[in-house]
Amino acid sequence: MNIFRGIADFSHLAAIIILLHKIWKSRSCAGISGKSQILFAIVFTTRYLDLLTSFISLYNTSMKVIYISCSYATVYLIYMKFRATYDGNHDSFRVEFLVVPVGGLAVLINHDFALLEILWTFSIYLESVAILPQLFMISKTGEAETITTHYLFCLGLYRALYLFNWIWRFYFEGFFDMIAIVAGLVQTVLYCDFFYLYVTKVLKGKKLSLPA
Amino acid sequence: LDDDFEKDEL
């Protein structure tokens, strides 16, 4: 594993933990898109089905189990435990407009027409757009808590670092996975606007708020 | 489920 991949995985883990911790500590999921979190739970579930079929490494298995568990815990906190604080009116992104096309694309464009491979492909495509309900929610309310922006930054950083990981792997291992690379590029691009706001506002101590 | 399915990335 190269340095980019290593930092990326821990950045991803940090994002997940930051979100869980924020909701748990504040006893509230205000400003968090439950829809994005459900999509991430679907992403992890469909991608890590290989936990049942193959063992790659202790690291690989542990991270997968942690990601899946935290993801379901987050969904549980939002829709069950702290349901009263969930801002459903502002979480109005129509997820079927993401899931249906992404499902179709996964059936059409994949490495191998096999169940596990198609579900893996579906998870890669879905992950690339899963943050859209959250970004939509922020654009609708015009603001985000600073801790939420740290979450988004770690999540965006994770995918940006995976791009460097793939460049590294292409040069040193001759490895590349076109599906992951294209979806990863799309995913990273979606964060660019947010990265700009994060650097120009949040890192200078200001709250992230959008012009009306 | 497929037997030869192996992805090392997360």
Stretch (H or E) spanning A180: helix A178-200
| Chain B 1-10, residues with CB within 8 Å of chain A CB atoms | 1-3, 5-10
Give the pLDDT of residue B6.
79
Residue ranges of chain A with pLDDT lower than 70? 212
Contact B8 A60 (CB under 8 A): yes
Q: Could you tell me the pLDDT band of residue B1, with boundaries at 50, 70 and 90?
A: low
* A-B contacts (CB, under 8 Å): 40
- Calpha distance B7→A5 (Å, rounded): 14
Of residues B7 and B6, more confidence is placed in B7
Query: Mind telling me how many Å the CA of B7 is from chain A's nearest CA?
Result: 8
What ipTM describes this predicted complex? 0.85
So what's the pLDDT on residue A51?
Answer: 95
Residues of A in contact with B8 (CB under 8 A): 56-57, 60
Return the pLDDT at A119. 97
* Cβ pair A115:B10 closer than 8 A: no
Q: Which residues contact A34 (CB under 8 A, 6 or more apart)?
A: A75, A78, A79, A86, A88, A91
Q: What is the DSSP letter of A174?
A: -
Is B9's CB within 8 Å of A180's CB?
Answer: yes
Predicted confidence at residue A31, as pLDDT, reads 96
